[in-house]
Structure 1
Amino acid sequence: MKTFYIVRHCQANGQSEDASLTPQGIAQSHELAQFFSGIHLNQIISSPYKRAIQTTEPLAHVKQLEVQIDQRLSERVLSSKPMDDWYEKLKLSFSDLHMTCEGGESSQEAMNRIVEALYEQIKLGKDHTLFATHGNIMSLLLKHADPTIGIKEWEQLSNPDVYVLQYFRPDHVEIERIWHK
């Protein structure tokens, strides 16, 4: 069995790649470090987005681990253009995994890249890895493990949020939400 922690970033000042954590988000990042204080971690891998990196910094400091960056943990881009009906498109993208919007990435494409990042760590024999990422891409990784996950579960994610994935074999992955704030 391999154990992986999937962390959604703390509260941030927006959605751009360079959006930083709010003062509340910074406090949350320290709460996360405390939450993980008794949990063994071998490595921390983060999205390159500033808010994800900032979420992991206090934890990395406490655990004396370097934060590794992986582009595959970046948030999914639904569309390159603003859309008034973005929520309806996002909702549809959970049932039609191949749907794409202008300049965007389908759910299947996004899922494939984050699953690839996870399976790369499994193949390398890595265990007790923490992935810091974003809400939509996180929910797609969870959907890969449990196809019943959809828009409702995405809506219920908090900032931050933490799930543990326990990998027993390719056809048996258990997921559990362990952040209850």
Structure 2
Amino acid sequence: MTNLYFVRHAHSTYSPDELNRPLSEKGITDAITVTNLLKTKGIDIVVSSPYKRAIQTVEGLARYIDKEVEMIDGFKERTLTIAPAEDFTLAIKRVWEDSDFSWEGGESNTVAQKRGVDTTYNLLDKYKGKNIVIGTHGNIMVLIMNFFDKQYDFSFWQKLAMPDIYRLTFEGEILTNVERI
């Protein structure tokens, strides 16, 4: 069995700079909680989206197990639009209503999900039988989960906490269990 611990990043200070947006003070405190929740889980590897807020959420755990955080571009957040959306709620709802729809310069659910799932399969192959923490983002995380089980949808995404942790257990490439940590 391979366990993937998907960690939605902690609260961040808003900035249009997606790549370098840091955690807020609350987010930094919550990242310590993430480390404490996961340090007894026998984690072997820590990977992350290259976005600063995702890295900061899991880097304490990487230090705890004396490993570097491995950056994996495929776990970065889905690109919703090329420019900030005037109405984020409307914009995100629209892409979930039509999986092939995308805003200008953005990724449809279909495209983002394929990227995330391909990346997940690569991780399952590379680290078979390991316990892996993945620092990532809410939308791409739920799109990946949705591929394996349709109950993980827009309404599920709306209820996610920040941070939030889900352990997905795989036998080979087959999802056998999901548990919120």
TM-score of the pair, normalised by structure 2: 0.92
CA deviations on 1:105-162 (whole Å, 9 max, x unpaired) are 1111111111111111222243211111011111111111211322111111111100
- Asked if the contact 1:6–1:162 (Cα under 8 Å) also holds between the matched residues in 2, the reply is yes
Equivalent residues in 2 for 1:62-101, closer than 5 Å: 62-101=64-103
CA drift at 1:3: 1.0
CA drift at 1:86: 3.1
Contact 1:145 1:175 (C-alpha < 8 Å) held by counterparts:
no
Match of 1:151 in 2: 154
> The residue matched to 1:148 in structure 2 has which SS?
coil
Aligned letter for 2:138?
G
CA deviations 1:82-103 (Å, max 9, x no partner) are 3334322312322321111100
What's the secondary structure of 2:142's corresponding residue? helix
Question: Does 1:130 find its partner at 2:119?
Answer: no
The two structures, once aligned, show a CA RMSD in angstroms of 1.5
Which AA in structure 1 matches 2:2?
Answer: K
SS in 1 for 2:7: strand
| Structure 2 stretches lacking a partner, 5+ long | none
Check 1:18–1:123 CA distance in 2 against 1; reply closer, same or farther (3 A cut).
same
State how many pairs are aligned: 178
Residue of structure 2 in register with 1:12 after alignment: 12
CA gap 1:4/1:90 in 2 versus in 1, 3 angstroms: same
SS in 1 for 2:46: strand
Match among 123, 127, 142 for residue 139 of structure 1:
142
Amino acid at match of 1:113: R
Q: Which runs of 5+ in 1 are unaligned?
A: none
Q: CA deviation at 1:81?
A: 2.0
**Structure 2 counterpart of 1:151, which letter?**
F
Q: Give the residue type in structure 1 aligned to 2:145.
A: L
Task: Tell me: CA distance 1:35–1:135, structure 2 relative to 1, closer, same or farther (3 Å).
Answer: same
Q: In structure 2, what is the equivalent of residue 120 of structure 1?
A: 122
Q: Percent identity?
A: 32
> Does the 8 Å CA contact 1:145/1:174 hold for their aligned counterparts?
no
Give the residue type in structure 1 aligned to 2:177.
Answer: E
Aligned to 1:107: 109
TM-score (norm. length: structure 1):
0.92
**Which of these residues, 35, 40, 47, is aligned with residue 42 of structure 2?**
40
CA contact (8 A) 1:3 1:165 kept: yes
Decide whether the 8 Å contact of 1:142 with 1:175 is kept in 2: no
Q: Which amino acid aligns with 1:148?
A: Q
